[in-house]
Amino acid sequence: MSTTEPTDDVPSRLAATLKAIRRAERSAGRAEGEVTLVAVSKTFPADDIEPALAAGHRAFGENRVQEAKAKWPGLRERYPDVELHLIGPLQSNKADEAVALFDVIHTVDRPKIAQALASAMRAQGRRPRLFVQVNTGEEPQKAGVPPREVDAFLASCRDEHGLTFEGLMCIPPVDEAPAPHFALLDKLARRNGLKGLSMGMSSDFAEAVALGATHVRVGSAIFGARPKP
Ligand SMILES: *Cc1c(COP(=O)(O)O)cnc(C)c1O
């Protein structure tokens, strides 16, 4: 796929992705429609997102608060039932904006972020659903709580800030098979009584569904290749 590829086939790629998810649900013996497709629209302008909305899709993922703030309020006027997911790193000074804009935040990974979110949630009376990002590959450059610290992090978020979580999220290392990372995330979630598993992207979402994903985050398979950062 090239970056100049027209995106007027977004609805057909979206439909193909949904179909592949439904197929993976069936072959894993899971209930049809159990998995939420978060269509990752980062870097794509509102004009490219609109066809997916017109096709009836409502769950979208963005990785930057500022970009989402520029794109989504206008789209939301026309599609008020949109569900917006923050899937990128969050700075504590953006917590207020994130709580105001997003319905689900997948990337809670530090006490400072937890505290900033808790105070923004109190102030605004909004409660976005929360996931803890886990650095399953323990990669030094990557965000996320190390696996061995997940239980304690969840407990301190609960005890110190009154935060409850829907689940865990991971981004496996690019050069490793994703399945062991998905299985580890599932194990950590079960141990903590969490039902949500945000895992799986364009290249591996079917495998993630087979291993229990409740949310897959798929971008390029729907919107086309993104320009390299
Ligand atoms: C960009 C991104 C995705 C989507 O990646 P694709 O390979 O385009 O499907 C999923 N999750 C996160 C956290 C991302 O930043």
> Could you give all domains of the chain from N- to C-terminal order, each with its CATH number?
10-223 (3.20.20.10)
Tokens of 100: 């105001």
C-beta of residue 166 within 8 angstroms of C-beta of residue 131: yes
C-alpha 88 – ligand 1 centre gap (Å): 9
Span of 7-21, 63-77, 124-138, 171-185 with lowest mean pLDDT:
7-21
Work out which ligand 1 atom sits closest to the CA atom of 226: 8
Place of tokens 């004009």: 47
Angle at 225 between CA 224 and CA 229, to 5 degrees: 145
Query: What b/e sequence results for 107-126 when a residue is b if at least 16 CB atoms lie within 10 Å of its CB, and e otherwise?
Result: bbbbeebbbbbbebbeeeee
Asked if residue 27 lies in contact with residue 19, where contact means CB atoms within 8 angstroms, the answer is: no
Residue nearest (by alpha carbon) to ligand 1 atom 14: 87
Could you tell me if 200 and 207 are in contact, meaning their C-beta atoms sit under 8 angstroms apart? yes
Of 80-89, 134-143, 193-202, 220-229, give the lowest mean pLDDT range.
220-229
Of all residues in the chain, the percent with pLDDT exceeding 70 is: 96
Is 117:105 a contact under the CB 8 Å cutoff? yes
* Beta-bridge mates of residue 169: 133, 198
Q: Is the pLDDT of residue 12 over 80?
A: yes
| pLDDT tens by residue, 24-40 | 999 999 999 999 999 99
Half-sphere exposure of 136 (CA within 13 A, CB side): 26
Residues in contact with ligand 1 by the CB-under-6-Å rule are: 40, 42, 63, 87-88, 171, 201-202, 217-221
Contact between 193 and 199 (Cβ < 8 Å): no
> Measuring from atom 10 of ligand 1, which residue has the nearest CA?
217
- The helix or strand, by DSSP H or E, that contains position 78, with its residue range, turns out to be helix 65-78
Quote the CA–CA distance of 154 and 135 in Å, as a whole number: 14
- Index of the ligand 1 atom closest to the CA of residue 42: 1
Over 50: is that where the pLDDT of 200 sits?
yes
Q: How confident is the model at residue 8 (pLDDT cuts 50, 70, 90)?
A: low
Q: Residue 140 contacts by C-beta under 8 Å, 6 or more apart in sequence?
A: none
Query: Ligand 1 atom 4: the closest Cα is on which residue?
Result: 219
